[in-house]
Amino acid sequence: MIRKTLLASLLLATFAGAAPASSQAAAPGAVRNAPSDVAVKTAKHAVTTYRKDIVDTLAKLVSFNTVADKDVPSDKNPVHIAFKEALKAEAARLGLDYADHGWTVIIGLGQGSERVGVITHGDVQPVDASKWKKSPFVLDRTSEPGKLLARGAEDDKGPIATALYAMKSIRDRQVPLSKRIELYVYMGEESDWQPLVEFLKTHQPPQMNITLDAEYPAVTAEKGYGTVAVTVPKAGAVAAPAGEPHVAAFGGGFFGSQIPEDATATIANATPELEKQIRARGAKQEGMQYTFAWEGSSLNIKAKGVSAHSSKPEDGFNAVSMLADALAVRPWANTTAGGVVNFLNEMVGTGIYGEKFGNIAYRDSFMGPMTFAPTVIRQRDDGIEVSINMRRPQGKTIAQLTDEVNAALAQWQSRQLPLANVKVQISDPWVQKNAPQLPTLMGVFSYFTGMKDPQPVAVGGGTNSRLFPSAVSFGPAMPGKVYTGHSEHEFITEKQLLLNLQMYTAVLVELAK
């Protein structure tokens, strides 16, 4: 998602000073567009009745490793099918109807031609199990008291569990509904949107939708996703200088939408003095840890930062960027790996806004600045590929930004070395201008959090809101908090899970009654 804009900072300051939800909820008259009495009572029923059950259901959902398999489509993937069977069983147990459309499951409550959609996804991002205290596919309730740790806990199985019990609570209380509620669970949000695009060509979606896959108070704009990838080729690199220190290897990163937490480098013909200089430079970097090991005259360096969602690079410490910076203690010959280090330092640096990459940097007053962060350094047969993740706001056309990227690459190549396999892929940002449910969302959020006069925000991430009519995102992450989805420390707190349950329940009552 995004680096904290001024708006988000103001929202955080307001929330930080607000009274607890329990005391604020006692005075609904003070909240504009406050939820109705039936919405509040149904929300209270949800949180008092199902506070344990919702955690147990979340534990069931995260137990399925629903990472995409590039060789097996979701509707044929045995693990995805088993996950959907678990959803079917949960729906039956909770008295909700269920329909499996292959890549998309729809769980419903009520009848009517008018419908309210709740949009979620059941697939998750890849995970490095070695970085977790327990299995990332077992809900860890004990390692960090108050936190529920697992892949998908926040993105997006926590929201699925929450929506199920919101619907169950509405059914329990026999709230009269004039609209049908439908929970959509798509199985390819993290990997392939095309099956959902195709599905919606023949399936009529609900007239009004909320997506549970971003931030509060509500998200009405999402930045465009982009990738800049180049290969520093073996063929164009210089030969390693005889007897001189040079970068013999450089790598790092895991996948394109994660800020990398690991990076490695090897310096051939290194000296103790060079190690000392690199250590000293690395020691000045916030959030980084380095280990050094000698193998003959080669110095192996491992950098460890903190992973984060690549839409919010400010929430992590980028091991790739920081290791390249730690090596900037001397000029490096443009060997293949040395060229990678030079490219990273000269074109990206340790910033996250693309300020060093020619003239590409810009910002929008609502959507904030473009972010630009290396995510994967991949070893190829013909060289080393550098992949940079871009999240860009409105304000430039695809053609303009593409031209600026190519111009910056041309300038660097003219003074350094040729690059190969240049790929520049840029998508447009999205802005929702038709969201009649916003007053309801703002009223519910204000009531249960105590935040006065909340306003919609923009984020750096992309959700399936873009594909559904009148859709906006509503949670599950609080403004100003670190979003842990896509990281190697994903969690949702029990407190936030229950707060979400209250707010989702109240919103669905208000939108469907």
pLDDT band at 236 (very low <50, low <70, confident <90, very high): confident
- What confidence score (pLDDT) does residue 142 get? 96
Once rounded to an integer, what is the mean pLDDT over residues 28-40?
80
- Angle (CA) 473-475-481 rounded to 5° is 125
pLDDT reading at 3 higher than 60:
no
pLDDT at 32 over 90: no
Pick the CATH number of 224-426 from 3.30.70.360, 3.90.400.10, 3.30.1360.120, 3.30.70.20: 3.30.70.360
- According to DSSP, residue 236 is labeled T
Return the structure tokens found at 465: 């809101």
Query: Could you tell me how many helices (H) and strands (E) the chain has, helices first?
Result: 13, 25
Has residue 231 got a pLDDT over 70?
Answer: yes
Task: Tell me which residue of 360, 88, 68 sits closest to 194, measured CA to CA.
Answer: 68
What's the rounded Cα separation, in Å, for the pair 2 and 423?
24
Residue 240's pLDDT is 87
Residue type, 411: Q
Cα-Cα-Cα-Cα torsion 394, 395, 401, 407, nearest 10 degrees, comes to -150
Residue type, 29: G
More confident residue, 116 or 15: 116
Q: Which CATH number is 6-223+430-512's, of 2.130.10.10, 3.20.20.100, 3.40.630.10, 3.40.50.880? A: 3.40.630.10
Tell me: pLDDT of 22 over 90. Answer: no
Q: Note the pLDDT tens digit of each residue in 309-324.
A: 999 999 999 999 999 9
Instruction: Kindly tell me if the per-residue pLDDT of 292 is higher than 60.
Output: yes
Nearest-Å Rg of the Cα atoms of the chain is 24
Q: Are strands 298-304 and 289-295 parallel, antiparallel or unpaired?
A: antiparallel
**pLDDT the model gives residue 411:** 98
> In the predicted model, is pLDDT for residue 28 greater than 70?
no
Report residue 157's pLDDT band, with 50, 70 and 90 as the boundaries: very high
Task: Please provide the DSSP assignment of 134-154 as one string.
Answer: S-TTS-B-SSSTTEEESTTTT
**Chain center to CA of 211:** 14
Reported as a single tens digit per residue, the pLDDT across 74-95 is 999 999 999 999 999 999 999 9
Confidence at residue 26, expressed as pLDDT on a 0 to 100 scale: 34
Q: Is the pLDDT of residue 2 over 90?
A: no
pTM of the model: 0.90
Q: 426: Cβ–Cβ under 8 A, 6 or more apart, which residues?
A: 224, 226, 390, 392, 398, 401, 402, 405
More confident residue, 5 or 311: 311
Q: What is the mean pLDDT of residues 357-382?
A: 98
Q: How far from 218 is each of 212, 282, 392, 442, 468, CA to CA, in Å?
A: 10, 39, 19, 8, 15
Give the pLDDT mean for 120-146.
97
Mean pLDDT of the chain: 93
Q: Is the pLDDT of residue 337 over 80?
A: yes
Q: How far apart are CA 167 and CA 160, in angstroms?
A: 11
φ/ψ (deg, to 5) at 436: -65, -15
Mean pLDDT of 110-114: 96
- Report domain extents, the chain: 6-223+430-512, 224-426
Asked if residue 144 has pLDDT above 70, the reply is yes
Give the separation between CA 188 and CA 444, rounded to whole angstroms: 30
The pLDDT assigned to 33 comes to: 87
pLDDT given at position 161: 98
Residue 20's pLDDT band (boundaries 50, 70, 90)? very low
Q: Strand, coil or helix: what is 72?
A: strand
**Percent of the chain at pLDDT exceeding 70:** 94
The answer to whether residue 181 scores a pLDDT higher than 60 is: yes
Which phi and psi angles does 465 have, rounded to 5°?
A: -50, -35
pLDDT digits (tens, 9 = 90+) for 416-472: 999 999 999 999 999 999 999 999 999 999 999 999 999 999 999 999 999 999 999
What percentage of the chain carries pLDDT values higher than 90? 91
pLDDT of the residue at 23? 31
